[in-house]
């Protein structure tokens, strides 16, 4: 079976005056189709930087990100943008819904951009939105939605064209507890059902119960790799954690950059960074 997503010795460095800072430091792992992984760690651990490189929005200083058998760094920017639109579904904390399109139209937009819009895909868009609890808001504009509702529209948009990889940065940040559990469970189920590789960055450790594996990052490195069956109390106190051999869980090695705004409409991406490494 082809690996859906692979990071090979990925490093991302920044210059801070005369010092070189490794926001991500020699990270390697792989995901098979249908796997859903939680990426956790404290602020500044490199989670968001890593996610941005997996999405092809940020280039690593060294190493490679391979999606569905193709290396992102080998592509020119226009080619990478087209590839990203077809193969990578993502939602960041900035939802970036098109303000003059309805909820349904925002989800259908990705189908139209990929020449996949037809009666069957329109039906799927509706079904996704219903699964995410938005059946009464299909014709609403983004400004008429709560922050949590906007987040769920963005999640539906990330899944609509059945991408090889689905990436979500804090998908429950704007949700109450009940809705957060529902959304993550639905996201995990859809990743499993459609055979995507899914990665969710989260600070809410209650959500990792829906993950197949848990990658714990600290200071830019993979500190430990766990499963929901392991004792997860160590995530709140990393000093107490026992290292689990990476190759037992399908990882190749066990040893950021915060996007303030990601605006995605077709091939147009505007990413304005700050320099915190979260």
Of 61, 50, 58, residue with least CA distance to 5: 50
Hey, what domains does the chain have and what are their CATH numbers? Answer: 34-45+75-244+256-273 (3.40.50.300)
Within 8 A by CB and 6+ apart from 146, the residues are 174
Q: pLDDT by residue for the chain (278 residues), tens digit each?
A: 679 999 999 999 998 888 999 999 999 999 999 999 999 998 889 999 999 999 999 999 999 999 999 999 999 999 998 999 899 998 877 778 999 999 999 999 989 988 888 898 899 999 999 988 899 999 999 999 988 889 889 999 999 989 999 999 998 887 888 888 988 998 999 999 989 999 999 988 899 999 999 999 999 999 988 988 887 777 766 555 444 333 333 333 322 333 333 334 443 333 333 334 44
Within 8 A by CB and 6+ apart from 268, the residues are none
Q: Tell me phi and psi for residue 135, to 5 degrees.
A: -60, -25
Polymer length of the chain = 278
pTM above 0.95, yes or no: no
Residues paired with 40 in a beta bridge: 216
Distance, CA of 141 to CA of 87 (rounded, Å)? 27
């Amino acid at each position: 079976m082809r690996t859906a997503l692979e990071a090979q010795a990925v490093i991302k460095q920044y210059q801070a005056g005369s010092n070189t800072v490794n926001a991500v430091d020699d990270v390697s792992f792989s995901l098979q189709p249908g796997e859903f992984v939680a990426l956790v760690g404290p602020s500044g651990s490199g989670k968001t930087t890593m996610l941005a490189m997996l999405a092809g929005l940020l280039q690593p200083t060294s190493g490679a990100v391979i999606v569905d058998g193709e290396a992102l760094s080998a592509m020119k920017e226009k080619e990478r943008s087209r590839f990203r639109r077809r193969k990578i579904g993502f939602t960041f904390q900035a939802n970036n819904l098109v303000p003059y399109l309805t909820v349904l139209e925002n989800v259908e937009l990705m189908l139209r951009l990929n020449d996949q819009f037809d009666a069957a895909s329109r039906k799927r868009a509706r079904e996704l939105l219903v699964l995410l609890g938005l059946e009464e808001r299909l014709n609403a504009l983004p400004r008429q939605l709560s922050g949590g509702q906007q987040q769920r529209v963005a999640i539906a948009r990330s899944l609509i064209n059945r991408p090889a990889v689905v990436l979500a940065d804090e998908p429950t940040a704007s949700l109450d507890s009940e809705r957060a559990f529902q959304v993550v469970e639905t996201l995990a189920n859809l990743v499993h059902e459609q055979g995507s590789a899914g990665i969710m960055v989260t600070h809410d450790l209650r959500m990792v119960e829906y993950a197949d594996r848990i990658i714990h990052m600290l200071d830019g490195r993979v500190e430990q790799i766990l499963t929901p069956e392991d004792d997860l109390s160590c995530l709140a106190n990393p000093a107490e954690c026992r290292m689990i051999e990476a190759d037992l869980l399908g990882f190749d090695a066990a040893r950021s950059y915060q996007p303030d705004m990601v605006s995605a409409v077709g091939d147009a991406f505007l990413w304005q960074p700050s320099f915190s490494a979260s």
